[in-house]
Amino acid sequence: MAAPMTAPTNATSRKIAEFSVQVHTADVKIMAAGLRFGKLEIFTDKVCFTPGKLNFVDPKKTIAMSEIASAENCTVMMVPTGVRITTRSGESFTYIVNESLTYMVSGMERKREQLVDAIRRQMAELAPPG
């Protein structure tokens, strides 16, 4: 009997963190309906957005760490809960980090800052020396 087939894995890729996010869009009705949720996973070599079960709008998106030019905190609709990832080609992706307001009110470290820090640490580790 043949051995079961398994998907190939990248031995060097390891998940560092996972955050519940919402994709930012200018259409407030879509955002209010909560249809753009998903998770943003930080790996040693990439950042992956996986849409939630009810999100039929946004495709799965993977960005290699080597393609990320910047990751920064941003304000979305006058609330400081956003994270913007910009690629070297100039593409920009904005995510609203869920529960970040709860963390701001309670005085705990903000989740969005944890997300940005995780991406920046991996970018620094993969950067060529010099």
- Structural domain contains residue 7: no
Q: What is the mean pLDDT of the chain?
A: 74
Q: Where are the beta strands (DSSP E) in the chain?
A: 15-23, 37-43, 46-51, 61-64, 68-76, 79-87, 92-97
- Structural domain contains residue 119: yes
Sign for the CA dihedral angle at 13, 18, 19, 23 comes to positive
- Structural domain contains residue 3: no
Residue 49 CA: distances (Å) to CA of 16, 19, 21, 43, 82: 14, 10, 9, 11, 15
- Structural domain contains residue 53: yes
**Are 31 and 88 within 8 A, CB to CB?**
no
**Domain span at 85:** 15-126
Q: Specify the pLDDT at position 11.
A: 56
Beta bridge partners of 59: none
Q: What is the pLDDT of residues 56-103, one digit of tens each?
A: 677 888 999 999 999 988 877 777 778 889 999 999 888 888 765 554
Number of H helices, E strands in the chain: 3, 7
Predicted TM-score (pTM) of the model is 0.69
Residue 47 CA: distances (Å) to CA of 37, 55, 102: 16, 19, 24
- Structural domain contains residue 6: no
Cα torsion through 130, 119, 42, 125, rounded to 10: 20
**Residue 70, domain CATH:** 2.30.29.30
- Structural domain contains residue 1: no
How many domains are there within the chain? 1
d(C-alpha 65, C-alpha 31), whole Å: 28
Q: Specify the pLDDT at position 118.
A: 86
